[in-house]
Structure 1
Amino acid sequence: MKVSHTLICFFFLFSLQDGNTGLVSDQFSVYSGIEGEDVRVECFIPSNRGKEFFCKEKCEEEDILIETTDTPAQSGRYSIDYVDGYSFVTITQLTKSDSGRYRCAAVTQEVSYKCIGIIVVDAMLDGGPFAEKTIDARTGGNIVVRCSFTQYGDKKYFCKGECEGEDNLVETTSKSDHENGRYRIRYTHRFSTYFLFVSIDQLTQSDSGWYRCGLGRPDSKDLYQRFRLIVTAASTPTANQSESSTTTGVILYVFLTLVVLVIVSSLSVLVFCRKRICKAKEPRVETQNASAPEAEDDPSQHAYSEIKFVSVGSSQSSFHGDAERVIYSVPQVEASSDEPPLYSTVNNPQ
Structure 2
Amino acid sequence: MNVCHLLVVCIFSALTNASAGLVIFQRTEGKNFTILWQFLTSGTKYFCKNQCKDTDTLVQTTGVSSHNDRHSIKYEHTPPVGGTLYATILNLNTADSGRYRMGVGLPELPESYRDFEIRVLPAEQQYRSSVPSPEVHIHTGPAGGTLEIQCPFHASRSTKFFCKGNCLDGHILLRTTENSDCVDRYCVDFRPEPLMKMYLLVVTISQLDKSDSGRYTCAVGSSLRSAYIQEFDVSVSDGLPLDGKVESEGRRDSSENRPTVLVWPLVLAGALVLLMIGAVLLFLCKHKRKPNSDGPRCEFSTQNAQQEDTYESIQDCGTRALDHSYCTLKPAQHMRCYSNT
TM-score (norm 1): 0.32
User: Greater relative contact order: 1 or 2 (C-alpha under 8 angstroms, separation 6 or more)?
Assistant: 2
Structure whose CA Rg is larger: 1
